[in-house]
Every structure is written in C-alpha cells, then in structure tokens.
Amino acid sequence: MQRERGTVPPRSTPTARQRRLGSELRRLREESGTSVGHAADLLGVDRTRIPNIESGRIGVSAERVRTLAGHYGCPDPELVDLLAAMARERDKGWWEQHRGTLPPGLLDICELEHHAVGLHTAVTTHIPGLLQTEAHARAVFGVADPPLAEPELQGRLALRMARRQVFARERPPLYEAVVHEAALRMRFGGPGVVREQLEHVLAQSERERTTILVIPFSAGGFPGSGQSFTYAAAALSRLDTVQLDSSHGSVLLDSGPTLTRYRGLLERLRALALPKAASRDFIRTVVRDL
C-alpha cells in the first residue's frame, strides 16, 4: 500500500479539544479490537502516525475520521458526525491570543465553555468564574499562592472577563451554578466588592437559560464538598467533560464512569439546594447582612 509522502510536524501543545478527538478515535479503535498497525494500513500511513493522531499531536481530516470510524464499526452516526466536525475545525478561538503567556489549562477551560451546550458548575468557597465581577476576580487573584506578578494577574483578569462572552451568543449554553453559602459569604475585596458581586449574581440569575441554586449551611454536610467542578455537556453525552479545579491547575476528565459519577453528584447537590426563587431570596439576605 502506498504511504503518504512527507511528514506533518507534530503539535507541541495540542488543545484539549484536539486531544479529545484523538482519544475518542483511540477508544473506537480499542473497542473494535483494531491494532495500531491495521489502523495505519487503513489510512496508508506509517504506524507511528496513529499514536500521534490519538494523542492530538497530529491532525486528521474529517474524511479520515469517517474512514476509521467505518472500519471500527462505530454504531453511532451522530458521534461520527461530531468527531468529523471536530476534525474540520480550523479557526482559532479568541483565547489563543493568550497562548504562551498564560497556562494552557486556562485556555482549555475557555475552549471547553465555547463548545459546550450546557455548563453545570458546583462551587464551595468561590463565586463561579463566569459570574465574577472584575473587582471580585482581581481580589481573588490578588491572594493567589504563590503571588502573581502584575502582568500575569492582568492577563488572567482579562481572560476571566472575556470568558463571559459565552453568555452573549445568540443561543448561549444552558448554565447552572450550585453555590454553597460559604462562597457567598467570603469577603474577597471587602464589603463593597462583595455587595457588587452578589448583586451581579442576582442579576445573572434572572437571565434566560441560567439557574443559580444555593446550598445553605443548614443543609449540613454534602458529597463533593471539598472540590469545585464544572460539568460541560456536549451535543452527545459521550463527549461530555468534567473540569476540576485544583491547586495545581485545571484537570479535565472524560471517561464514561467518571461522567456517570459526576452526573449523579450534580443530582445530589441539586436535591440539597434551595429552589431557584428561594435561592435568590437567600442571596438577597446575604446582601442585607453585609
């Protein structure tokens, strides 16, 4: 079989979405029992190309995605269509202007939010990033450990404010935030900044396709209390992603069992939270207490 001529330089830093396309192709290959060598023969490429495609380090055309999926016997045409669409993506998102100056994990979050059809976040000690005012975000970044140099602080602040454009789309993603009372009562920036922040949260809670729920202290202990996470829903549940916040940066998870676990966790958190209208009243009470 004739091999491709020339080589394609591998990407030094594939994006999360490029890595996800590759990992889905790997899953389909492994589920079908196809070897790396056989997959390479199907495309007429050197066998070293397949691991690079499956890691996102080398791109793959939509046509080749369909070729591989067909030979792998993928039973879901919608999944194949979505993977082919991912392969066709060539336009760089607005967040790419920050590549090289901010950690790649922050840019992966922007990319994840941009492509999601639904965003479900749960937080304990911080207001969700998409709901933060500039003053509040500045105060949060101002207590980072280790301290941020002023250029990086400004870069992170600009990125966080720009992320809010996801709400300005003609049809923004469904957005749900489950926020613990502790996050509402944190005094980042002092009473004035907190008041402005909570009033902004109240205003956002009135937006169409946005739901903000509060878990009060009176709910007691609850599962997942030590972590903050966002469940990003895709057009097909298999392509959903969980994004975890940690002191070492953002972590993206997408295995089937993990997605099932976090969908269940979200249901349990919703059950503990106050209803939508009662949550708004609760936030107003916190504002009056300032």
SS3 209: coil
**Parallel/antiparallel/unpaired status of strands 210-215 and 174-180:** parallel
CA distances from 219 to 89, 162, 239, 263, 282 (A): 45, 34, 33, 20, 13
pLDDT for residue 11: 72
Whether residue 8 has pLDDT greater than 70: no
Residue 176 has pLDDT above 70, yes or no: yes
The number of helices, as runs of H, and strands, as runs of E, in the chain is: 12, 6
Chain position carrying tokens 């009056």: 288
User: What digits encode the pLDDT tens for the residues 66-119?
Assistant: 999 999 999 999 999 999 999 999 888 999 999 999 999 999 999 999 999 999
Residues 6+ apart with CB under 8 A from 177: 120, 121, 122, 123, 128, 130, 131, 211, 212, 213
**pTM score:** 0.93
How confident is the model over 14-58, as pLDDT tens digits?
A: 999 999 999 999 999 999 999 999 999 999 999 999 999 999 999
Whether residue 93 contacts residue 110, with contact meaning beta carbons closer than 8 Å, is answered with yes
Query: Hey, which CATH number is domain 95-288, 1.10.3470, 3.30.559, 3.40.50, 3.30.870?
Result: 3.30.870
pLDDT reported for residue 2: 42
Listed in order, the ranges of the chain carrying CATH 3.30.870 are 95-288
Quote the Cα angle for 152-156-157, to 5°: 115
Q: Does domain 16-88 have CATH number 1.10.260.40?
A: yes
